[in-house]
Amino acid sequence: MPHAAPHRIVFANEKGGTGKSTTAVHIAVALAYRGARVAAIDLDPRQRTLYRYFENRKETAARRGIELPTARFDVLDSSDPAELEANVSEIGEGVDFVVFDTPGRDDPLARHAATEADTLVTPLNDSFVDFDLIGQVDAETFKVRRLSFYAELIWEARIKRGRAQLEQGRREMDWVVVRNRTGHIEARNMARIEQALKELSKRVGFRVAQGLSERVIYRELFPSGLTLLDKGHLGELGTSHLVARQELRELVASLNLPMPAKREPELAFA
């Protein structure tokens, strides 16, 4: 029996600094720990943060002589959607999930990946600067005035997907806006953003999930390629690290991803 097409998880935000790449890596590794076969494609050949993270992870495993659940990974330097699809077919052969990390800017491949997502994850910091990506608000009332170009793009893609779902049996796109929290946001501003997200979600059809807090641990882990889930290899963790790990587990659960049949976790999956 042929393997079903992998579930596409696309991390996309046209603004940088929202924790997109870090969240993508941690979700991919979390899925690998649960026994899923995962591939990861970095669509930002200039920054290549996701690619470097997995490269560091591979080097750490080899240097320490340990096995770490991981993903196949690649970086694509192209603007041609056909090349991306060819890359997906190759690296995604036999996997359960393909995770895409897109650039923090408007980009042809980022648009294509977002519109083809089964699960589209848009991380936002609790800031109206970030909220502007999906909607514009009134300066006095903070009510949503109009959709952004990006939200309209995803809205139209979901309509097309709805037609394809009827004709070809494609999955319905699940758009999840993930609220990553920063320590300096005041409560009143957070409440205004929450209300604006609630209003806009009804118009556009995305879900809102709680994301990750801004913690130094994420930046410290990058050189080793380790994640918060690599408990036996991180040394002694403080309380803030344990809280961060719980946030990650809750985020994974909130994505409601279609997990494959139970199997042993993938180690050194290549």
Q: What is the pLDDT of the chain when averaged over all its residues?
A: 86
Higher pLDDT, 187 or 197: 197
Higher pLDDT, 106 or 181: 106
pTM score: 0.89
Q: 12-41 burial string, b = 16+ CB within 10 Å, else e?
A: bbbbeebbbbbbbbbbbbbbbbbbbbbbbb
CA–CA separation, 270 and 190 (whole Å): 42
Q: Is pLDDT of 151 > 70? A: yes
HSE (side-chain half, CA atoms, 13 Å) at 241? 16
The amino acid present at 238, given as its one-letter code, is G
Residue 211 CB: number of other CB atoms within 10 A?
Answer: 24
Cβ pair 196, 142 in contact under 8 A: yes
The domain of 100 spans: 7-254
pLDDT in tens, 37-89: 999 999 999 999 999 999 999 999 999 999 999 999 999 998 899 999 999 99
Residue 234 DSSP class: S
Query: How many domains would you assign to the chain?
Result: 1
Q: Is pLDDT of 265 > 70? A: no
The sign of the dihedral angle between the CA atoms of 268, 228, 252, 163 is negative
Q: Is pLDDT of 7 > 60? A: yes
Higher pLDDT, 104 or 64: 64
Cβ burial of 61 (10 Å; 0-12, 13-18, 19+) is buried
Q: Is pLDDT of 186 > 80? A: no
End-to-end CA distance of the chain: 22
Residue 77 lies in a domain: yes
Give the pLDDT confidence score for residue 169 in this predicted structure.
Answer: 59
Give the pLDDT confidence score for residue 252 in this predicted structure.
Answer: 95
Residue 1 lies in a domain: no
Residue 270 lies in a domain: no
Residue 262 lies in a domain: no
Q: Is pLDDT of 236 > 70? A: yes
CATH, residue 97: 3.40.50.300
* Least confident range of 128-132, 235-239, 262-266: 262-266
Q: Report the pLDDT averaged over residues 27-45.
A: 96
Residue 241 lies in a domain: yes
Cβ pair 117, 110 in contact under 8 A: no
